[in-house]
Structure 1
């Protein structure tokens, strides 16, 4: 019989953003924290990310989340996020998908009604509240990272676009926030490619002119993301809705509005004085899916930043449960930075 290297997966999506959850087949990783285990993958075993996001197993628009044992005793499980641009320390949609997969797989037992537990992300502990009705995970609410505005309404000239007004928020990564209507967009599905091209030009221009540093984390890399903002409609005393689109990689507008993009919007609305604690914002994607962000509270940090504490709520759906076979003899598969972390078994 042949020697097989296998991975056990649960494919999910939240708001259209597909997350592939790895629940088995990877050996324990070195590192005293989930953040250190993420850094080990990034530096010594990046083959797992490339394997599952590229042909023949995946596509770059997907995300991958590796389930690992928690290192913090307060957490039920840990997880490491992998995307085409690298290893973000946090993601709302990936957290929603991971929590759902853990419950639906039985790795965390489901309880009817509302149940709370902690997960350990590379960014630290994340509070999860799951709503389970008739045995089905109907919603996940997760804590968004503390978010703040770094730059408000700066202007830059962008080749082939013109003068662009933008703000910069940090919400787990740095985001450029731009008004879609000022750039001629109404945020419809047929604009997706044009939005991606426009965003790429703006991001490149901002990267060439400015760098951004987190008040405690320091340099977290060049600006990666851009969030197109549609008009904000007030639909109740404490509830707002806005069409949105998030650029995450050259050529790619995320299928969801993204949790961190929604957190960035809350930070901007607080900075501009248009929301109060307890208010919620639903961001609506090009595919008519949405996440709901809630502005919980604010505090001063770093001597000058008003940091917004927030939560993100969404629903994830299980798409598939599968086991894939990794064949290192396949010319399409590069195992050089992968085989040493794969658990093996004989078929």
Structure 2
């Protein structure tokens, strides 16, 4: 096997962009393509995401042919557990990548890149000046609150209240004070285990359904946030645990869109009022705001705009040897 990649990060969260070496895949729609890869090529996901070429918190993407008429490019997202429906940190990096590799013709002062991902079409805008791409902003799919104040019994924690909101993927939201945590790197390992426990407990009692597609109806992870700052500060601190105990280094793009919808539903955020969302990593920040109200099925929804910066960190050429007993990749947790 020989696969080449471009490596980027958005606010510290890695993105491995597969450029060459992936076999041809079947499927008319992007969701059908994911199903085909899951059944026939999942070994390549493990090859690239798992050790020794990746790590437990690696994230990757594969460009595929769009099936929406207005899409400039389409991408499938992958991680340690499988595949996701939306990834905001990836969208921010991929928009720069599309401009810099001439997938989309660059225009000053801002270039529109329409990116198709499994949850829908994401209009993305790349600032561009003097031949250089810069900060990126994207507008989410319709984001909405599924349920609020759901009482969940979490092992070793007890009864807590969670909110469930959608921003391209569904997340359970729980405050730090309910869990005895702080949004800081020193609490990251505890947050991983507790966040996963919250996700598992919530899945047992809440049926997560998307009004427009059953393929989008699953709980992707848990976002732990500092509730004390919401009313008095323009800064929201949060950390996201998703997939199989994967900890996002960025503030999480789809999670930020979901959080914006939740804040709006609770009367804590007004239209076009910008907030900053920060992860556990210093200087890892997104800004977000509501650009308009919307509907998703019978749900009141919003279109959230999230912006951030992505950077190139290198190129890779991955191979395997037939005699290598660990050539398929492995995990240690």
**TM-score for both structures, normalised by structure 1:** 0.87
C-alpha contact 2:138 2:305 (8 A) present in aligned 1: yes
The question of whether the paired residues in 2 share the 8 Å contact of 1:91 and 1:259 is answered with yes
- Give the Å deviation of 1:181: 2.4
- Cα deviation for residue 219 of structure 1 reads 6.1
Alignment correspondent of 2:230: 232
Residues 327 and 109 from structure 1, CA distance in 2 versus in 1: closer, same or farther, beyond 3 angstroms?
farther
**Match for residue 325 of structure 1?**
319
1:127 equivalenced with 2:120 (yes/no): no
The answer to whether residue 264 in structure 2 is matched with residue 270 in structure 1 is yes
Give the equivalent residue in structure 2 for 1:314.
Answer: 308
Whole-Å separation in 1 of the counterparts to 2:307 and 2:194? 29
Selected match of 1:167 from 146, 163, 169: 163
Q: Is 1:99 the counterpart of 2:79 in the alignment?
A: no
Contact 2:125 2:138 in 1 (8 A): yes
Q: CA deviation at 1:265?
A: 0.8
Cα distance between partner residues in 1 of 2:91 and 2:241? 19
**Where does 1:120-269 land on structure 2 (aligned, <5 Å)?**
120-218=116-214, 220=216, 222-230=218-226, 231-232=229-230, 240-269=234-263
**Shift in alpha-carbon separation, 1:158–1:189, aligned structure 2, 3 A:** same
Shift of 1:329: 4.5
Q: Corresponding residue for 2:291?
A: 296
Residues paired across the two proteins, number:
326
Q: What 5-or-longer segments of structure 2 have no aligned partner?
A: none
Contact 1:233 1:242 survives alignment (8 Å) = no
Q: Are 2:85 and 2:119, in contact at CA under 8 Å, matched by a contact in 1?
A: yes
Shift of 1:220: 4.1
Matches within 5 A, 1:59-74: 59-74=55-70
Match of 2:280 in 1: 286
Q: CA RMSD in A?
A: 2.1
Output the TM-score relative to the length of structure 2. 0.90
Gapped regions of structure 1 (runs ≥ 5): 336-347
Tell me how far apart the structure 1 counterparts of residues 311 and 221 of structure 2 sit (CA, whole Å).
25
